[in-house]
């Protein structure tokens, strides 16, 4: 059996999330993934970063044009994603960008256009879509097991201390982060909500900065209306003690309630006729990412990288492409506009 063709990655950025990409590339070595280089803005740190990642460290500009790199993983502050993705595309590199793919819809569309124009793939790291639980939920909705969806609920009682925002001058800013609890922490759950219920057509929202010395919101509440008349609410904060998030779907024939990454209710009016097998039920045992941004599993990133390697090799779009990444960003931008936080 022939070994798979190597797909060489370059990671732009060397922070916490870049380490997840390193682990994901390493875990996919048998599928042909290889880390060729890492990009960093500070030459004084090249040696240390290279040693930590096990690959040569170069400047960001050099990484985007690196001859040995097929795919650039963009792991920099959100406000830098647009410019870096466009430059990578111009150099013929495929782009795998961390969430949010950009801080504004117009920037995301420019990224999509640049990658399409260059004939390269654009993938977005929204890794909760790879989880078996959420894939089953999506399948159950599509199969009609829940009947007509009427209500969705997202609750995020997260904790991020002042020291979290003090780590870097871009954190908690509109230019660097693009938003607060909803854009930075909540986008994964917003993404699942629109994946299950569709794109909202009307939005009402309130946002506040209550206890963190930041530009963006630390607390937000929103109501969304969907094309079929269904409604959803989102309540999120980084000022709580840190409890598992909740995601709930209610339909005319069924209910699914998720706490953390575990379903604890999967109730159907006619379970015998269900087309999707329910997952094992349980409850979250710790706060996970609600209390610590490092409280996420690397499994989702591993699946995202594996899919992207296959997309490059098979010349097909990645499962979560730029268009899919745009959906949650558009919903969040509409929420911020309804809350009066952006024009």
pLDDT mean values, one per 10 residues, the chain (343 residues): 83 97 98 98 97 98 98 98 98 98 98 98 98 98 98 98 94 97 97 98 98 97 97 98 96 97 96 95 85 88 98 97 98 98 93
180 and 316 in a single domain? The answer is no
Residue 64, strand partner residues: none
Judgement on whether residues 271 and 134 belong to the same structural domain of the protein: yes
Is residue 215 domain-resident?
yes
How far lies 256's CA from each of 89, 128, 150, 198, 263, in Å?
A: 41, 16, 12, 17, 7
Residue 335 is assigned to a structural domain of this protein: no
Asked if 50 contacts 56 with a C-beta cutoff of 8 angstroms, the reply is yes
Q: What is the CATH number of the domain that holds 216?
A: 3.30.360.10
pLDDT score for 2: 63
Same domain as 263, residue 148? yes
SS3 content of the chain, % helix, strand, coil (to 5): 40, 25, 35
Statement to judge: residues 68 and 29 lie in one domain: yes
- How many distinct structural domains can be found in the chain? 2
Distance CA 58, CA 299 (A): 28
- 44 three-state secondary structure: helix
Residue 125's alpha-carbon distances to 28, 206, 303, 315, 320, in angstroms, are 16, 27, 10, 19, 7
pLDDT of residue 211: 97
Q: Is residue 339 part of a domain?
A: no
Q: Are residues 183 and 282 in the same domain?
A: yes
Integer Cα distance of 107 and 240 in angstroms: 32
| Same domain for 268 and 174 | yes
Same domain for 240 and 140, yes or no, is yes
Q: Residue 185 and residue 292: Cα distance in Å, rounded?
A: 11
The reported pTM is 0.96
**C-alpha 330: how far from its chain's center?**
13
**Taking Cα atoms as reference points, which of 258, 100, 268, 119 lies closest to residue 187?**
100
The CATH number linked to 36 is: 3.40.50.720
Structural domain range at position 241: 129-292
Given this model, what pLDDT does residue 291 score? 82
């Amino acid at each position: 059996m022939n070994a798979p063709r190597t797909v060489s990655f370059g990671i732009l950025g060397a922070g916490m999330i870049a380490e997840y990409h390193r682990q994901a590339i390493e875990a996919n070595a048998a599928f042909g993934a290889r880390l060729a280089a890492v990009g960093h803005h500070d030459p004084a740190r090249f040696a240390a970063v290279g040693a930590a990642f096990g690959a040569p460290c170069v400047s960001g500009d050099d990484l985007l044009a690196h001859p040995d790199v097929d795919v650039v993983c963009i792991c920099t502050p959100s406000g830098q994603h647009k410019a870096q993705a466009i430059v990578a595309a111009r150099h013929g590199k495929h782009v795998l960008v961390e969430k949010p793919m950009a801080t504004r819809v117009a920037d995301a569309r420019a990224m999509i256009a640049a990658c399409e124009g260059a004939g390269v793939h654009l993938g977005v790291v929204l890794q909760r879509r790879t989880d078996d639980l959420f894939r089953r939920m999506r399948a159950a909705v599509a199969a009609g097991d829940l009947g007509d969806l009427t209500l969705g609920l997202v609750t995020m009682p997260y904790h991020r201390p002042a020291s979290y925002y003090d780590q870097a001058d871009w954190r908690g800013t509109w230019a660097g982060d693009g938003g607060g609890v909803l854009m930075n922490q909540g986008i994964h759950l917003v993404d699942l909500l629109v994946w299950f219920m569709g794109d909202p057509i009307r939005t009402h929202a309130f946002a506040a900065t209550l206890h963190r010395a930041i530009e963006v919101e630390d607390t937000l509440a929103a109501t969304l209306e969907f094309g079929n008349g269904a409604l959803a609410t989102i309540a999120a904060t980084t000022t709580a003690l840190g409890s598992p998030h909740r995601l709930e779907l209610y339909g005319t024939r069924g209910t699914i309630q998720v706490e953390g990454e575990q379903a604890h209710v999967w109730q159907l009016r006619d379970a015998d006729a269900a087309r999707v097998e329910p997952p094992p039920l349980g409850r979250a045992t710790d706060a996970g990412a609600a209390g610590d941004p490092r409280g996420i599993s690397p499994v989702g990133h591993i699946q995202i990288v594996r899919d992207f390697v296959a997309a490059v090799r098979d010349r097909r779009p990645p499962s979560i492409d730029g268009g899919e990444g745009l959906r949650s960003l558009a919903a969040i931008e509409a929420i911020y506009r309804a809350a009066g936080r952006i024009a």
